Chain A
Amino acid sequence: MEERCHDLIDYFNGTLSATDRDAFEAHLATCDDCKQALQEMQDLMLPIAESLPERPIPTGMKSRILGEVLGSTEQGHEPAAAPISKPAVQETNHVSELEAARSKKSKKRVPLGWLMSIAAALILSLGANAYFLSQDKSDPAEEFAMDEVKGMGNFESTASIKGSSMIFTKDDQEFMLVQLKDLPPLKEGELYQLWTIQGDTPRANGVIEQDGEAAAVFPIKGDGTIDAVAITVEPEPDLEKPTGEVVASVAL
């Protein structure tokens, strides 16, 4: 056996360096034994796969994947001229999930008009408790894809606070986005506390320590469906229960 023959498994498993991979491919052209062994390993792939117990497919996987794949087209795929006639592919007798994928794709894209640079904020806020935005206008045509919007609505306020909140998921983590205007001035030591409410139970989930305008993304604590978001003025962050009155709230 030649020295290079020892690289077969590592070649098959893709663990060789680029140089060694090239060298092994050159070796393959001359070593029938390795060529045959590699073929045997590859040929076994299908029977092995077919012999596995079938796993139930997660709900909606197809439309998620096709949505992402088709949405990625402009980044690399260069389709040739569109087929002139309708392609003679096998007819599917169910409503095409491509349609579902497409509509899903357009639904989950949120125009940045009212959210401004949320994408930047989201990226920065991952791992941090919150990240606040400057109000720089970004290209309004820009869109930011979230995985799923779980709920959104406008705040109602007893203190003329305006704003909106949205709960969404991104990479399996839930986030709450809030954008607020006309937050009344705070006294020394006070802060705006955000609460996520499930049923009747509030949970402290984010603090805003400024008045005027604010936009922030907070990872949602705990799990379960958030029914509403409320804001109170508190002397300390993240108390067990609200002590101040609700100055704004939104049912989602």
Chain B
Amino acid sequence: MHTQSDESLYHQMRSGDEQALEVLYDKYERLLFSFAHRFTNNDRLSEEVIQEVWMKIWNGRVDFNTDKGKFSSWILTITRNAALDCLRREKRQPTIEVEERDGGYDEPVERTVIQRETATEVRDAVNELKPDQQELIELVYFKGLTQQQISEQLNLPLGTVKTRIRSAIQALRKLLDGRER
């Protein structure tokens, strides 16, 4: 059994191959769900986000090519955009706070616990950043605020925001790289 690259699966899928879609879906299900959940903090919205992502990809409303880098980074970018759109939509709509229903989960608890332990270890990398850098990562990556909003919220001159963000990103990169070793 050989494993096909994401890129070749993507092209097969784009020519209408449903099995290639399923293989890609399986491969990215957990990653995309955890990622979307980090934005929405809600199972239902995360599922909506992921559905939107695959709708866009399957129907060719977004297009991947290798100029755009790795497939994994590309699909995460699409997911992040969909999650930010979803957050903006939710914000615009007056909604009733609904307690998230426990509709049951697909996976055994054991696996989750093991995954969580590994994840916690890595997550410390973000926690090791200076508090203001942690906050910047949060506002830029997970809240999708505009530069103006960040500048106002952190009381920083507009011109300084970009530089600060960049150094926060570089610091995080370094910490994450250190963990991989």
Residues of A within 8 A of B (CB): 1, 5-10, 12-15, 37, 40-62, 64-66, 68-70, 72-73, 75-83, 87-92, 96-98, 172
Among B51, B58, B106, the residue within 8 A (CB) of A73 is B58
- Is A65 touching B123 in the complex (CB atoms < 8 A)? no
Q: Sorted from nearest, which 10 A-B pairs have the closest CB atoms?
A: A79-B16, A56-B105, A76-B59, A54-B115, A51-B122, A59-B104, A80-B15, A53-B119, A13-B144, A57-B106
Q: Is B73 an interface residue (CB 8 A)?
A: yes
Q: Specify which of B19, B46, B103 lies most central, judged by the most chain A CB atoms within 10 Å of its CB.
A: B19
Q: How far is the CA of A65 from the CA of B31 in the complex (A)?
A: 15
Given A49-B34, A51-B125, A90-B4, check contact A80 B16 (CB 8 Å): yes
The contact string, 1 if C-beta is below 8 Å from chain A, for chain B 30-72, is 1101110110000110110011001100111100000001101
Residues on B lying within 8 angstroms of A by beta carbon are 1-4, 9, 12, 15-23, 25-26, 29-31, 33-35, 37-38, 43-44, 46-47, 50-51, 54-55, 58-61, 69-70, 72-73, 76-77, 80-81, 84-85, 98, 103-107, 109, 112, 115-116, 119-120, 122-123, 125-126, 140-141, 144-147, 150, 158-159, 161-162, 165-166, 169-170, 172-173, 176
Question: Are A42's CB and B73's CB within 8 A?
Answer: yes
A13 lies within 8 A of B146 (CB): yes
Q: How far is the CA of A97 from the CA of B54 in the complex (A)?
A: 16
Question: Looking at the complex, which one of B9, B72, B120, B145 makes contact with A53 (CB distance below 8 Å)?
Answer: B120
Q: How far is the CB of A70 from chain B (nearest CB, A)?
A: 6
